[in-house]
Structure 1
Amino acid sequence: MLHNRLQSIQHWIKNQKAAYGVIQGKANLFYLTGFRCDPHERLIALFVFPDKEPFLICPNMEKPLIKQAGFDFLIIGYSDHEDPWGLINKHLASMSLVGEKIAVEKDILSVTRLEHLQTLSPGLSFVSCDAALMELRLIKNSEEIAILREAAKLADFGVEVGVHALKQGRTEMEIIALIEFELKKKGIAEMSFGTLVLSGEQSANPHGKPSMKPVQEGEFILFDLGVVLEGYCSDITRTVMLGQPSEEQEKIYHTVLQAQEDTLSLCREGTILGDLDRKARSIITKAGYGDFFPHRIGHGLGTEVHELPSLNELNTDQLKVGMTFTIEPGIYVPSVGGVRIEDDVLVTSTGYECLTKYPKELQVIK
């Protein structure tokens, strides 16, 4: 599988008349090599050529792990006292390179590394390979889907732990600690993003910051979390009620639920992505909360928790079988609180499959 992915990007580099490509982003490196890590300030980069075998440069400490991950081409290791760019230059000088450009991830390439590449290959221009790599990652195969299903199950479990941990006076941070502790007991070393437990007025901030605030009766409690499993991410949001809801709280919740369910019903091959956002937005606006739905209906999901496709109202692309993404309408009213319901969705040949399955009816925790 890795070889097929490398061949695809090699073919693209050749069509671009590029001498080589340099891949250093965490998600793209994992996708092409099977190795996932955060190298911090150290350089890990994959050099891909149109008609030659690739090589990877990395700290010596990572070499055994990269081999274990399944990358079976040349690995050039370096120690902390060595200059990796000098080693790259030496290797490139031994190759006969033909091309006018260097393919790079323009979205994430630092200026410092750009200057190093300009020194390595003066006179060559730069072309972005971000879209080409994202296009490769857009459609998931059966192996990827199997992992995403398991990651979604663990996200469901995380919400279940959080809901069971709810009691008046327990803080948001305490509940997060309990969720992540139970997930670590199941072998999860990395969350997709910082786990959110937001209560009361805090839940009215879509990406609020959890705190030592105790949860209280009469509040919405919003859970947003996901795990990284074998390099693939999950992402779920559920909102529950601690104590009896007010009439307005019930209206907000059921409006979001209707928006999500009606939007999910459109998820099938050929649907215009923008139509999904417009469907949810029309329901929320009709209920009088249009000004309180400030984000798109969803985002792609895979080796990154946010990737293509972007499910915004202006996207004219169509859903394809094998795409995975979130559907997550929300209403956030500052004086009342916020509700978001989010599922991970797979487009199938017969429609769609919700990978996350934690119940969505309004739960009142007493």
Structure 2
Amino acid sequence: MSNITTFSVTSSNRKIDPSRRRGGTFKADGSLNDNDRVEIGPTDLAFNEWAELGLTPPNLTRMREYRLQRIVKELQKRDLGGILLFDPLNIRYATDSTNMQVWVTHNHSRACFVSASGHLILWDFHNCEHLSAHRPLIKEVRGGASFFYFETGDRTDEHDSRFASEIQSILQEHAGDNKRLAIDKMEIAGFNKIKQLGIDVFDGQEVMEFARSIKNEDEINAMRCSIASTEVAMKCMQEAIVPGITENDIWSILHAENIRRGGEWIECRILSSGPRTNPWFQESGPRIVKEGELLAFDTDLIGPYGMCADLSRTWMIGESLPSAEQKHLYQVAYEHIQHNMNILKPGMTFEEVTKSGLLLPEEYRAQRYGVMMHGVGLCDEYPSIRYPEDLECHGYSGVLEPGMALCVEAYVGRVGGKSGVKLEDQIIITDTGFENLTNYPFEAALLAN
């Protein structure tokens, strides 16, 4: 692949033909209903399922404008001239455009600049300007943001110097004397070149995490839709589980059903069965599942609209009744997340959440999950709220606000134990408390006394 060619497309010649848009019909989210369109998005299957569930898709135009204004607000709050983004999730948030999202996470060939006045420039992969032609908030599309070694080899210095000079010129044009630039992630060669030009660099990850942390109604609706599609996929998984198939057979169903509905990818492959459920974080493999075992998983799924649905469940395999030990593990995990959800309300500090949370029984603390809860949006996001044992080393300050989406989770399994249980629900902080966006049922047999 090559991305060395530079191109620039101005707003006057890069949009969808207005006559075509006027003559077309629109989907429920306001996007063009054109079978041949470039824009990705939910399939008819997803729209039909959401309608049956009474869900309202997001208004994409309004959601995109809201996100851009969130970035502008954070830039102005810090007196920054602009922000330069290379993280594809941050680019998605700023532009709602995509291009080989997983590939560009480790090959930085896309970039985005947002000025404090809201001027938005996208650098895309070679000859890919058509992929964002339906995004009117993007004022320019350029190329040439690649200077990782595979791409530029012994000409890296040439290409990162050119890009740095381009950023200097853009910053001067759109920020005047303000040379304060936030950057989220960047190849070190280009970063050094920008610093050498006298530009003051600040932490762009902080800017974007705060911008992304508060969801508006449209983002919450997008999240509801993504979760709903994920839960349909989970049901397909659960119905397919029989002793004798492999973990990978089960896990592949989640992938397939996500893609069928317009979902995008899955960040991890954390699914395990039987003795592989303890310790946690083992990924799905060729193991054949057996009657009477537990199967546990974490979706970590990027669904329709690029919204993360991060849910965990633990199921029985086959028709056997659960053992007393299996039920105990499950009930501890269930009680844990229920308590920790029900304490949540706006205005609580992260430390207050930690100290008000339910302590795990001593025998399960050594293998506790890394967080009590974490933010979620386009992926796992700010904040991370820690267990009491981790507060001193890893805890940080912050306050719960309406519009924050959180995943409340627990892993319960003793060191050397035969099984473990993982449970997780996704919630939104409201003006008065919280709303659980998750509808997938828990296991009655495992909760029974």
The answer to whether the Cα contact below 8 Å between 2:112 and 2:122 also exists between their aligned partners in 1 is: yes
Q: Judging changes above 3 Å, is the alpha-carbon distance between structure 1 residues 114 and 316 closer, same or farther for their aligned structure 2 residues?
A: closer
* Aligned partner of 1:43 among 82, 106, 109: 109
Secondary structure of residue in 2 paired with 1:329:
strand
The residue type paired with residue 91 of structure 2 is L
Normalising by the residue count of structure 2, what TM-score does the alignment of the two structures yield?
Answer: 0.71
* Aligned partner of 1:104 among 176, 183, 198: 183
Return the offset for 1:139: 0.9
Higher strand proportion (structure 1 or 2): 1
The answer to whether the aligner puts 1:328 opposite 2:409 as a matched pair is yes
Bigger Cα displacement from structure 2, 202-211 vs 240-249 = 240-249
The answer to whether the aligner puts 1:356 opposite 2:438 as a matched pair is yes
Query: Unmatched 5+ residue regions in structure 2?
Result: 1-61, 153-157
The answer to whether the Cα contact below 8 Å between 1:197 and 1:224 also exists between their aligned partners in 2 is: yes
The answer to whether the aligner puts 1:57 opposite 2:131 as a matched pair is no
The residue type paired with residue 411 of structure 2 is G
Q: Judging changes above 3 Å, is the alpha-carbon distance between structure 1 residues 22 and 316 closer, same or farther for their aligned structure 2 residues?
A: closer
* Aligned partner of 2:343 among 266, 290, 302: 266
The residue type paired with residue 115 of structure 1 is N
* Aligned partner of 2:423 among 331, 338, 341: 341
Return the offset for 1:70: 3.6
**Partner Cα separation in structure 2 for residue 75 and residue 218 of structure 1:** 56
Which runs of structure 2 are paired with 1:291-306 in the superposition (5 Å)? Answer: 291-304=366-379, 306=380
The answer to whether the Cα contact below 8 Å between 2:233 and 2:253 also exists between their aligned partners in 1 is: no
* Aligned partner of 2:385 among 311, 314, 325: 311
Q: Which residue of 1 aligns with 2:94?
A: 32
Q: Which residue of 1 aligns with 2:294?
A: 220
Q: Which residue of 2 aligns with 1:202?
A: 276
The answer to whether the Cα contact below 8 Å between 2:262 and 2:303 also exists between their aligned partners in 1 is: no
**Partner Cα separation in structure 2 for residue 196 and residue 349 of structure 1:** 34
**Partner Cα separation in structure 2 for residue 312 and residue 343 of structure 1:** 17
Return the offset for 1:227: 3.3
Return the offset for 1:57: 2.1
Secondary structure of residue in 2 paired with 1:48:
strand
Secondary structure of residue in 1 paired with 2:243:
coil
Bigger Cα displacement from structure 2, 32-41 vs 164-173 = 32-41
Secondary structure of residue in 1 paired with 2:361:
helix
Query: Unmatched 5+ residue regions in structure 1?
Result: none
**Partner Cα separation in structure 2 for residue 301 and residue 87 of structure 1:** 32
Return the offset for 1:127: 1.1
Bigger Cα displacement from structure 2, 156-165 vs 144-153 = 156-165
**Partner Cα separation in structure 2 for residue 178 and residue 49 of structure 1:** 42
Return the offset for 1:102: 2.5
Return the offset for 1:148: 0.3
Q: Deviations over 1:325-365 (max 9, x none)?
A: 1010121233321101101101123422111111113446x
**Partner Cα separation in structure 2 for residue 324 and residue 129 of structure 1:** 21
Bigger Cα displacement from structure 2, 152-161 vs 52-61 = 52-61
**Partner Cα separation in structure 2 for residue 64 and residue 84 of structure 1:** 25
Q: Which residue of 1 aligns with 2:16?
A: none
Q: Which residue of 2 aligns with 1:23?
A: 85
In the comparison of the two structures, how many residue pairs are matched? 356
The answer to whether the Cα contact below 8 Å between 1:276 and 1:297 also exists between their aligned partners in 2 is: no
**Partner Cα separation in structure 2 for residue 184 and residue 53 of structure 1:** 33
Q: Which residue of 1 aligns with 2:257?
A: 182
Task: Give the % identical residues.
Answer: 22
* Aligned partner of 1:130 among 202, 205, 209: 205
Q: Deviations over 1:23-44 (max 9, x none)?
A: 2211211111121332352532
After superposition, the CA RMSD in angstroms is 2.8
Bigger Cα displacement from structure 2, 314-323 vs 172-181 = 314-323
The answer to whether the aligner puts 1:69 opposite 2:135 as a matched pair is yes
Q: Judging changes above 3 Å, is the alpha-carbon distance between structure 1 residues 311 and 52 closer, same or farther for their aligned structure 2 residues?
A: closer
Bigger Cα displacement from structure 2, 154-163 vs 12-21 = 12-21
* Aligned partner of 2:162 among 74, 86, 95: 86
**Partner Cα separation in structure 1 for residue 350 and residue 208 of structure 2:** 20
Q: Which residue of 2 aligns with 1:170?
A: 245
Q: Which residue of 1 aligns with 2:29?
A: none
**Partner Cα separation in structure 2 for residue 92 and residue 329 of structure 1:** 47
**Partner Cα separation in structure 1 for residue 125 and residue 160 of structure 2:** 9
The answer to whether the aligner puts 1:239 opposite 2:314 as a matched pair is yes
**Partner Cα separation in structure 1 for residue 188 and residue 178 of structure 2:** 22
